[in-house]
Structure 1
């Protein structure tokens, strides 16, 4: 995204839809290990935030024009696929070790958060999106925090809250910031 271009940046809709989807999954899947009523509260809150973001996204997208395309070809860029391939290898390899060798399934979501966070650094470079560096740093930190609290004796529910629900909230926040920036650029 270029700060000087007018209109919404290319990829705003697709990127936001992906982030809202994965944010919702992070919240729904990883809130289940908490004591009642928290799973229901977090799931309802996550769904409400997702709906609010979707409504806002389609309002913003409906009134703005796309910014000019840059050199990168989005999902067609081979660098994107390299980042995704490395992410898949790290996810599958790490989860195999965590679950089958170390027998520590409680930290699986922490590993997912670290890997997904790191992959955003690659995407930030490929797509010229500084926001992705911040998102990547936050998600990786939430993943590392999950490992730390587990090492200190916390259970799977706490790890899921920090590394899973926390990453869902981070993805939602990134969409909200991208939408805010798109509205500001359009008004400039």
Structure 2
């Protein structure tokens, strides 16, 4: 359970980073600031839930009700993360060599991170991560298409901010579910 909560925390951190880095022009400054503050609050709440759940697990005050069967940090995970790193950095290098605009990078990152969740779902035997995986994949594809249009300035919002909101929302939902699944010991 703790490794899954840590995975949720990692997803939340990356979600917050997506929002912090990409909530900018062409958004109104007030809207951008509100999004960044909301991402900060969501991340702080997720960190609080992570520590709360971890404390319950360490003290034995709670026991997880549901234990998914998938190995969290096993061979499959390592292979997927290695492929993700190669695709992320290699893809950005190729995009740069092709002279693609900088906005293309955030769309590429969203696409690869989304595909990484889709690939991890069967490895972890956790279908719920398909939702953020598919959403991020779609946001990445939409952003890549947008880089060929006059809407290119909105790519960081579509592929960056919306991806961050997706990761933070998924992390919030999972952390609340995980905390609720911890029942007090008799």
TM-score by length of 2: 0.83
1:15 to 7, 15, 19: 7
Structure-2 change in CA distance of 1:141 and 1:71 (3 Å): closer
1:25 to 17, 23, 32: 17
- Structure 2 stretches of 5 or more lacking a match? 57-61
Cα deviation for residue 44 of structure 1 reads 1.5
Match of 1:3 in 2: none
CA contact (8 A) 2:70 2:125 kept: no
Match of 1:154 in 2: 151
Partner-residue secondary structure (3-state), 2:150:
coil
Cα deviation for residue 186 of structure 1 reads 3.7
Q: What do the CA deviations read for 1:59-111 (whole angstroms, capped 9, x no partner)?
A: 34433335658462x22x11111101111111112111222213321111001
RMSD between superposed Cα atoms in Å: 2.3
CA contact (8 A) 1:20 1:172 kept: yes
Match of 1:170 in 2: 166
Match of 2:130 in 1: 133
Cα deviation for residue 163 of structure 1 reads 0.6
Distance in 2 between the 1:39 and 1:185 partners? 35
Aligned: 1:83 with 2:83: no
Match of 2:55 in 1: 62
1:48-127 mapped onto 2 (5 Å cutoff): 48-63=41-56, 64-66=62-64, 70=69, 72=71, 74-75=72-73, 77-127=74-124
TM-score by length of 1: 0.83
Structure-2 change in CA distance of 1:90 and 1:121 (3 Å): same
CA contact (8 A) 2:111 2:136 kept: yes
Cα deviation for residue 184 of structure 1 reads 4.5
Cα deviation for residue 166 of structure 1 reads 0.8
Cα deviation for residue 134 of structure 1 reads 1.2
Distance in 1 between the 2:37 and 2:68 partners? 37
